[in-house]
A and B are shown apart, each in its own frame.
Chain A
Amino acid sequence: MNLYEFSYGIIHWLVDLVNHLWYWLGDWLPWALGDFFTAVGDFAASDGHLSVMTMLLETLIIVIVALINVLNFLWIFRKLSGRILDFYGPYYVGYRIGGWLQNLADGMKLFVKEIIVPAKADKVGFLLAPIIYVGSSLLILATIPFSENFGLSTNPSGEYVPAGALFAIAAFAIAPFTILLAGWSSNNKYTLIGGMRSAAQMMSYEIPLLLTVASVFLLAGSFNFVDIVDMQHDIWFAIPLFIGFVVFLVCLMAEVEIIPFDLPEAEAELVEGWTTEYGGMRFGLFYMTTAVRSYAGGALATALFLGGWHGPSFIPDEIWFLIKAYLVFTVFMWVTWSLPRVRIDQMLGIGWKRLLPLAVLNLFIAAVVKSAGWV
């Protein structure tokens, strides 16, 4: 049973239950109203309505699973940072479970804080930016399946969103505009510089990223995650496309804005960069969303290069996927804490002069591999 069937079953059962009452109610009413009741009930039971509701429920389940996942993820992030940096990490809130509740406590604290909008800020943009940022990041999660059975699909056969990978990459690229919006609307020099940096930085990493992803699409012959992962049943794409994998990881680090490339919020020179003026839960949302994006980045790398949910079958597919995503994230953390931040002009130089040629070379290799029929 895949997620679609599961949600369809729930929706069907719910609709049946409600309709049962509904028709019973309609029987007691005059004929004109009764007809209306019947029409509504029939609409509710129709295939179109059921599949739309099913997909909404699927999205809800996926987002809830993803957010719980993010809590785990933040915990791992903080513990791992602690261990790399030679301290314990969160410890006291939830002492028995290794400080797992610390993030909930932090979230609670952020929730009760006052929402402050700077007097001279552009209010609409200021309040809109976090919403778009969080929304676009959750969109990425919605399209990435955990396994063949656990992902957003549109029909009972388990066929997933046709161009899911493309959609995920596109959703990933929305964030820099949000950052620019937040930076500009805060009406602060630091945030403005941070926003501008984000826009400039995006140019440099987005193109190599897309080129490497294009090489994966070329090998897989599909934009669909399931097809891409299935193609890696024998050999992971990371092995023939090793250069592309490295380029992809570097670009991904720029995409999720962690330290070698976290120029928009370089806290040493720009205080907190584009998030300077945000406080309370809005800041908490940014913080959480950074974790969401890190997780999404790991998941993307897993699905595109590391064979997705394929692995020895003694562990469920979904867990394999999570393990791989977490491992990619661990590597991210390792690199993040061991390296200084680059400068904006150096970032552009790396993007255009180093990553772009490598990405093109990688595309060439992919073309050769494909035409030789090795994969």
Chain B
Amino acid sequence: MAEMWVNMGPQHPMTHGLWNLRVKVDGETIVDAEPEVGYLHRGIEKLCENRTYPQIIPIADRLCYGSSMTWSHLYCMTVEDLTGLEVPERAEYIRVVAIEMQRIASHLMWLAAYAGDLGLSVGFTYTMRDREVFVDLFQALTGGRLTYNFPRIGGVAHDLPPDFDRDAIRAVDYMEKRLREYEDLFDRSKIFMMRNEGIGILRKEDAMNLGVTGPSLRASGVSYDIRKDAPYSVYPEMDFEVATHKDCDCYARYKVRMVEMWQSCRIIRQAIAEMPKGKWRVVAPRTAPEGTGLGRVEDPRGEGMMYVVGDGTDRPYRLKVRSPIFVTVSAAPKILVGYKLADVVAIMGGLDMCIGETDR
């Protein structure tokens, strides 16, 4: 077979969204690759310039359908940085519980998609089943199942519902039991290891230079987690470890996310135990002063960042969103070349694509 370009996308089971990966294959071996994004561009940055500050929270939710809580939290954090608003401590703890639950839910969704990509059907359904536990918790906490619209500028929308503590601890217990099951289903499976070990090597230097962040960066051996190294919210008071792995391959990326789920369970336990009493929301000013605000969080997919410019009115002058996957996907050619066509799904699946935030 001569070399040919194969379009994987925009409508393709591998893509998990709308994007196009053009790969040039020689037989089954990839010799070149080129990602194309932009099919889902909704102009969110422009939309935000015409919305008042509270109205943007639901839009920030829709940046990423997999982890909407993180993005609305990031937006609220950024605006709080701009206005200099102090958030009550209870609100920070509620936010941390919500974000870590979101991290588990997002990683479970990633694992489901990853397992589905590799053809492991039980992996898909079991992880989605267990994600449902957390989605139900979110439903009780926020009222939504996918886009929560829960954080507010100056706190969170509601207090914890009754019995939430008990349910959250139960969910975490259940999750820890399930994580052991996943270890059996994935790590102990010879075929899963065959598909993952040594595939998609992304060296430490390349990962740093290409701007890869999040679990993919930590899987390349760089121990950098914004929760730990540039802490925000009440993360400095939490006791957790940064998951890293030295292997730089797909298995390392898988493992880092699994360890992160364990650590998230730990953080949820601590935050629930140390939850202070008090107010969960303060009145936010309607207008923001002139100046800039910067928010930086550890999204489940990498480094999420927002830069907001205020001009004294009740609408932001400019809101810039840094999407982790938008930068990571440009590293795709570096990772893909030299592997087989079937490895594309393992490698791109391992990067945890989310097109909502990529195209904005």
Contacts and interface: CB of A to CB of B under 8 A. Distances in A.
- Asked if chains A and B are in direct contact (CB within 8 A), the reply is yes
Interface of A: 81, 84-87, 189-190, 192-193, 196-197, 259-260, 262-263, 266-269, 271, 336-346
Contacts of B342: 263, 266, 269, 341, 343-344
Contacts of B194: 342-343, 346
9 contacts: A85-B121, A85-B124, A193-B28, A259-B119, A259-B121, A260-B191, A340-B192, A341-B191, A343-B342
A86 B125 contact: yes
Contacts, number: 88
Contacts of A85: 121-122, 124-126
A85 B127 CA distance: 11
Contacts of A344: 28, 340, 342
Contacts of B185: 338
Interface of B is mostly: helix
B8 A340 contact: no
B19 to A, nearest CB: 15
B1 interface: yes
Nearest to A342: B191
Nearest to B194: A346
A87 B118 contact: no
Nearest to A343: B342
A259 B119 CA distance: 7
Contacts of B12: 271
B191 A339 contact: yes
Interface in B100-128: 115-126
A271 B15 CA distance: 11
Contacts of A192: 1
A269 B14 CA distance: 6
A289 to B, nearest CB: 20
Contacts of A259: 119, 121
A268 B122 contact: no
B195 A343 contact: yes
A33 B124 CA distance: 73
Contacts of A337: 121-122
A210 B4 CA distance: 36
B6 A189 contact: yes
Contacts of A266: 119, 342
Nearest to A267: B13
Given A86-B129, A266-B342, A269-B341, A340 B118 contact: yes
Nearest to B199: A343
Contacts of A267: 13, 119
A86 B112 CA distance: 14
Contact of A343 (B4, B14, B340): B340
A199 to B, nearest CB: 12
B294 interface: no
Q: Which 10 pairs, one residue from A and one from B, show the smallest C-beta to C-beta distance?
A: A341-B119, A340-B118, A85-B125, A340-B120, A268-B345, A268-B117, A343-B342, A337-B121, A340-B119, A269-B345
A346 B195 CA distance: 9
Nearest to B117: A268
B189 interface: yes
Nearest to A87: B125
B344 interface: yes
Given A86-B129, A193-B28, A344-B28, A269 B121 contact: no
B15 to A, nearest CB: 10
A257 to B, nearest CB: 12
Contacts of B61: none
Nearest to A345: B340
B195 A342 contact: yes
A192 B117 CA distance: 20
A344 B339 CA distance: 12
Given A268-B119, A269-B345, 17 more contacts: A85-B125, A259-B121, A260-B191, A266-B342, A268-B116, A269-B8, A269-B341, A338-B122, A339-B120, A340-B115, A340-B118, A340-B119, A340-B120, A341-B195, A343-B195, A344-B340, A346-B195
